[in-house]
A = this chain, B = another copy of it.
Amino acid sequence: MSPLHEQHFRAIENLIFEWARAIDENRVEAIADLLLEDGRYTVKSRFNHDRDLPMAIIDSRSAAQLRDRIKSMRIANIYEPHHYRHILSGVQIVGEQAGVLQVRSNYLVVRTMALDGDMKIISTGQCQDEVILTPSGPKFKQRLFLYDSRIIETLLVIPI
């Protein structure tokens, strides 16, 4: 690992943790600020990704598009109240090209229903992120969540 990586490793880990904490604390709007304005946030099955199939369940091609989606979650979607808990592990910087860091991590999301307290692992998978170090700290150029199971029980209304 180059000195550049060493120096910024903690900041990148913190960026990844911040995304998760914003969602878990129901401050979902805050994640859009962690994405570059022309950044991309995609949630796709490992199955489709391995076969180069384009279909994704979320594919926001800018921070503005992600803000729209979160707003619709707040004011338009009807769903049973629930929240998430992210458990993350294995953050690794696996490459760098022209100032873009390639970052890998694993995630597991537990969903808890407000009504009956039912807890369930709703998704596990790998994040394949591209991170850029800006003057105001690291930001995501791309967040790609590759989920392991093709089964998505219900509409994924809150972003992961």
**Which chain B residue lies CB-closest to A83?**
B148
* Chain B residue contacts of A11, Cβ below 8 A: 1
* Chain B residue contacts of A25, Cβ below 8 A: 126
In the complex, the count of this chain's copies comes to: 3
- Judging by beta carbons under 8 Å apart, are A104 and B21 in contact? yes
Chain A contact residues, CB within 8 Å of chain B:
1, 6, 9-11, 14, 17-18, 20-21, 24-25, 83, 85-92, 104, 106, 108, 110, 112, 116-119, 121, 124-126, 148-151
Q: For A6, give its contact among B10, B87, B104, B117 (CB under 8 Å).
A: B10
- Judging by beta carbons under 8 Å apart, are A124 and B148 in contact? no
A148 and B110 in contact (CB under 8 A), knowing A89-B87, A89-B88? yes
